[in-house]
Copies of this chain bind each other. A is one copy, B any other.
Amino acid sequence: MPLPEPVPDIRSLDLLRSVAELGSIRQAALRHGISQPAASVRLRALEGILNVELLDRSRGRAQLTSAGVAVVQWAGNVLEQMRELVLATQALEVAGHTHLRIAASLTVAEYLVPGWLSHLRSSDPELIVSLEMGNSHHVVQVIESGGADLGFVEGVHAPRALTSRVVQSDDLVVVVAPSHPWARRRLTVAASDLAATPLVVREPGSGTREVLDDALAAHGLSVNVQVELASTTAIKSAVASGAGPGILSKLAVESEVREGRLVAVEVADLPLERRVRAVWFKSVALSASARRLMRQINASSVPGS
């Protein structure tokens, strides 16, 4: 369902943030390259849309109200996500003159890369990063052919011929619609149940699928495919609309499970462990920026105060 109209404008939120930072509409307008009256009108329009008084103009200079302080904080989250979107997208289109070329599986690119890029950017605004996406198999090929400096793949096996290092673990889960029988039982499902049931899964060649295949193979079982889909969102909606159980990254279904749109089911005897690995060309030293990225990833996955 679409966002309810009217929607606050991103640029107005950005402007408000600047007002909060600079303490004056005038200065904020200047920084944004628009005239002071334009800024004044925009902010008033924003107040109208949100139906809240954000600024107190009664004392000469604009002063945030307490509601304004809160809205600035909330707007900061929106702006941060937007910044990540823009950065990540820019990395997709970059052609030459890149300092760091990343290749990542789709899941890693969707869920992890934007945050990394945002951090990289704040530590070095000049750095140009490119991002190539594909399934895990494709990433390995790109790295092997020298098309990227650093790759990120998911799966159980570390690819041969490449140096690799586990960066994050992201297990898979079986999810079903809330109306599905499996959603009711507090009991866990067995691997054999899973193999006997037609499932909604990712296509062969993807890291997600590989983990599932391997885990079942260890029991002498194989996947019973109901549908193969190439994106996580496609699987989510198929599962939610009752197509059958689906297998997805825990990362990917976190919000849906929390909000009850999907239900995660335990599989007793099946270790659906998936590891995100950084991979790079054997015996080739990582560039300075690649090393910095690795350091940042380590730092953020093991948060210390």
Residues of chain A having any CB pair with chain B under 8 Å: 1-4, 7-11, 13-15, 18, 20-21, 31-32, 50-52, 64, 66-67, 69-75, 77-86, 88-90, 92-93, 106, 109-111, 114, 119, 122-123, 133-134, 171, 173, 231-233, 237, 250, 254-255, 257-261, 264, 266, 299-300, 303, 305
Contact A74–B84 (Cβ < 8 Å): yes
Q: Is the interface of A mostly helix, strand, loop or mixed?
A: helix
CB distance from A61 to the nearest CB of B (A): 15
Contact A52/B8 with A3-B82, A84-B77, A237-B21 known, Cβ cut-off 8 Å: no
Extra A-B contacts (8), CB below 8 Å, given A8-B86, A122-B261: A2-B18, A4-B86, A9-B10, A73-B111, A74-B89, A74-B114, A75-B85, A173-B305
Q: List 26 contacting pairs A-B, 8 Å CB cutoff, sorted by A.
A: A3-B79, A3-B82, A7-B82, A8-B10, A8-B85, A10-B10, A13-B85, A21-B237, A50-B93, A51-B89, A52-B93, A66-B106, A69-B233, A70-B109, A73-B111, A73-B232, A73-B233, A74-B88, A74-B110, A74-B114, A78-B81, A78-B82, A80-B81, A254-B303, A257-B305, A264-B305
A52→B254 CA distance, assembly (Å): 28
CB distance from A177 to the nearest CB of B (A): 15
Determine the chain B residues whose CB is within 8 A of the CB of A10 once the complex forms: 3, 7-10
A254→B75 CA distance, assembly (Å): 17
Q: Nearest B residue to A31 by beta-carbon distance?
A: B2
Contact B11–A3 (Cβ < 8 Å): yes
Contact A71–B52 (Cβ < 8 Å): no
Q: How many copies does the complex hold?
A: 2
CB distance from A127 to the nearest CB of B (A): 14
Contact B74–A78 (Cβ < 8 Å): no
Determine the chain B residues whose CB is within 8 A of the CB of A81 once the complex forms: 74, 77-78, 80-81
Q: Nearest B residue to A113 by beta-carbon distance?
A: B70
Contact B84–A133 (Cβ < 8 Å): no
Kindly identify which residue among B66, B85, B231 contacts A71, using a CB–CB cutoff of 8 Å. Answer: B85
Q: Nearest B residue to A296 by beta-carbon distance?
A: B258
A9→B14 CA distance, assembly (Å): 13
Q: Nearest B residue to A77 by beta-carbon distance?
A: B81
A20→B234 CA distance, assembly (Å): 9
Kindly identify which residue among B72, B77, B83, B133 contacts A233, using a CB–CB cutoff of 8 Å. Answer: B72
Q: Nearest B residue to A232 by beta-carbon distance?
A: B73
Contact A85–B74 (Cβ < 8 Å): yes
Q: Nearest B residue to A114 by beta-carbon distance?
A: B74
Determine the chain B residues whose CB is within 8 A of the CB of A51 once the complex forms: 89-90, 93
A237→B20 CA distance, assembly (Å): 11
A260→B254 CA distance, assembly (Å): 28
Contact A123–B88 (Cβ < 8 Å): no
Determine the chain B residues whose CB is within 8 A of the CB of A75 once the complex forms: 85
Contact A122/B50 with A8-B86, A10-B10, A69-B231 known, Cβ cut-off 8 Å: no
